[in-house]
Amino acid sequence: MADILFYLGLVVSLVIGFIYFRDLGDVSQMLLKVKRENMVRFMRHENKLIGVGILAAIAMIVGFAMGGGNTWVFVIALVLVAFFFLFTYIWVHAGLRNQKDKAQYYPIDVARDYINPSASVIVIENNGHARAHSDAQMLRPHLAGDDAGLDGEDVIMTYCAMANLGVGYSPSIEGQKLNLEVLAQHGNNLILRDNNTGEPIQHIYGFREADTDPNADGPVCALRPSLAMKPWPTFRMSFRAFQKAYPEGEVFINMPSKNPIVRLFDMVVGIAFGVGIERQHQEAAPVMDNMTHYDDRLPNKTYVWGATVGNDAVCWTDDFVIENDNVVNANLGGRDVVVAYDPKFESLGIWYNDSGKPVTRCDFWGESDQGKLERIESMRPGLFWHVWVEFFQHTDINRISAS
């Protein structure tokens, strides 16, 4: 009986622990190619599976105390089980802890001490109230927002370093606020979880896995638009340009913790992230190759500005827009749009053009020769090409209208 209890508990705890580490351990994807369906399954049932694994480990310990098993086998199994469960849980729930409700925003005078003037910042704006988020400051928390909101609107910045993608979202669906947590990445793009429902949310899509339309024609989409988080127009610009455009703007700074233990822990996590992300920007191959689709129309790490309208998906490169005198007219999902680069504010934007005429001039503020234009809300600014095409495989590149 003691041997049965020992070995049964050993096998079950080791198997569940290894799967937990494999699917959500993050660094495990440096060595293993994790299937997305396995990752999603563990996200949905994380607490239940951990509970079963812990009970199995207790059974192993009890069996050993009763005289079952072997001492060396017990010690090795206990160390492995502890590593699989503790490392993964701490990495996910402490190392990736977000700041969706308690982010600290500072005036530009303070932010200048933490952000290089030429650094790219991801910006969201509402009625002139603008917030900037640098890639370096968003690297570990992934989510940033506060109770005050963006000019009273509940908007958070969501960020995936592997994709080089920041998107502003209203974290609610059909009037219900989501309890978002960062759990993992797949396809080099962040996967969040709504802890209210236990459902994963692919960052680039913005809706819960269970709400995916299985009959979608073209890009993956929700069963109905109201089942997706509302995206906010999100754009990139240099920090020096942000200071010119929004002198009263706020800047997110991930200040080190005053607790020395937490500060040291965050430093170690930050270094681990930094090494991987540096490689991600320098090497052609994805650092974590969990991609399912490859497309050589552009080099993998080309920055693209992608947007969707309905079932249509298109991306543009900044050099293409600049070579076309900073303005490109196109049609996206049946709507005319303008892709424009403003050299003064070092920012590329995509705008709806409902004037019925081509635009020849459009500045950072959307002022054009055809009147004031509205930023498109679905733009994903400056992400890697290989990530964009992973999730929008039928995308066009650098589309331009015949006119």
Ordered per-residue pLDDT tens for the chain, 403 residues: 888 999 999 999 999 999 999 999 887 887 788 899 999 999 999 999 999 999 999 999 999 999 888 899 999 999 999 999 999 999 989 888 899 999 999 999 999 999 999 999 999 999 999 999 999 999 989 999 999 899 999 999 999 999 999 999 999 999 999 999 999 999 999 999 999 999 999 999 999 999 998 887 777 888 888 999 999 999 999 999 999 999 999 999 999 989 999 899 888 888 888 888 889 999 999 988 889 999 999 999 999 999 999 889 999 999 999 999 999 999 999 999 999 999 999 999 999 999 999 999 999 999 999 999 999 999 999 999 999 999 999 999 999 986 5
Exposure letters 140-157 (e unless 16+ CB within 10 A, then b): bbbbbbbeeebeeebbbb
Residue 91: C-alpha distances to residues 5, 119, 202 (Å)? 30, 28, 19
> Residue written as tokens 């089942």?
227
Domain ranges for the chain: 2-95, 105-252, 303-397
Which residue, 229, 188, 213, 212, is CA-closest to 391?
Answer: 188
CA atoms within 13 A on the CB side of 7: 6
Two tokens, residue 253:
């700074």
What's the rounded Cα separation, in Å, for the pair 279 and 276? 5
